[in-house]
Amino acid sequence: MPSPESRAATIQLLVMDVDGVLTDGQIYYGETGEELKAFGIKDGLGIKLLHNAGVKPAIITGRRSQRVERRTHELGIETVIQGRDDKLQALQEVCEAQHIDLAQCAYMGDDLPDPGALCAAGLGMAVADASAPVCEAADWTSTAAGGRGAVREACEFILAARGDWPSLLSEFNS
């Protein structure tokens, strides 16, 4: 079996869950009942860097939220599937629509709906605080928790494996 690094070098699509991956999994309700979520700004920059390097970002989430619509629009994520618990089937649909083989796709999750998609993807990725079945199914696990830099870490891992990280980093140091 090829190493996670060698599989990351071929990734063209990173598909992520939202709650527990792009957020810390907490849901807050405001005074008038509106749902609030906190998204990490460093994760957002990681997604933009990945996208600029030619790796498409996508979202598959079991919940529906206008906050997710807003954040994905801000980040330029075009493929957003909400309200889907069947993550494996949704992942297959996304790859088919993007004309990308599952082997060239990474999937990042944190909880019980995710292991099927993690195992099917060319690179299964988990956040540090993922449930045990997700960690067991993952090829790679972040050191950061969901919503606390895990996605940024995954993006940097993929970019480094592809050989893109040094040139992207030098753009910020000039």
Q: What are the phi and psi torsion angles at 173 (to 5°)?
A: -100, 10
pLDDT tens, residue order, the chain (174 aa):
799 999 999 999 999 999 999 999 998 898 998 888 899 999 999 999 999 999 999 999 999 989 999 999 999 999 999 999 999 999 999 999 999 999 999 999 999 999 999 999 999 999 999 999 999 999 999 999 999 999 999 999 999 999 998 888 877 776
d(CA 147, CA 119): 22
pLDDT of the residue at 174: 62
112 in Cβ contact with 80 (< 8 Å):
no
Q: Which domains does the chain have, with CATH numbers?
A: 4-172 (3.40.50.1000)
For residue 93, what pLDDT is reported? 97
Q: In the prediction, which pLDDT does 33 show?
A: 87
How far apart, in whole angstroms, are the C-alpha atoms of residue 135 and residue 75? 27
pTM: 0.95
How deeply is 13 buried, as exposed, middle or buried, from its count of CB atoms within 10 A (0-12, 13-18, 19+)?
Answer: buried
What is the SS3 string spanning the chain? CCCHHHHHCCCCEEEECCCCCCCCCCCEECCCCCEECCCCHHHHHHHHHHHHCCCEEEEEECCCCHHHHHHHHHHCCCEEEECCCCHHHHHHHHHHHHCCCHHHEEEEECCCCCHHHHHHCCEEEECCCCCHHHHHHCCEECCCCCCCCHHHHHHHHHHHHHCCHHHHHHHHCC
Question: What is the structure's pLDDT at 173?
Answer: 72
Q: Is 20 exposed, middle or buried (0-12, 13-18, 19+ CB in 10 A)?
A: buried
Looking at residue 71, what is its pLDDT? 95
Cα separation of the two ends of the chain: 39
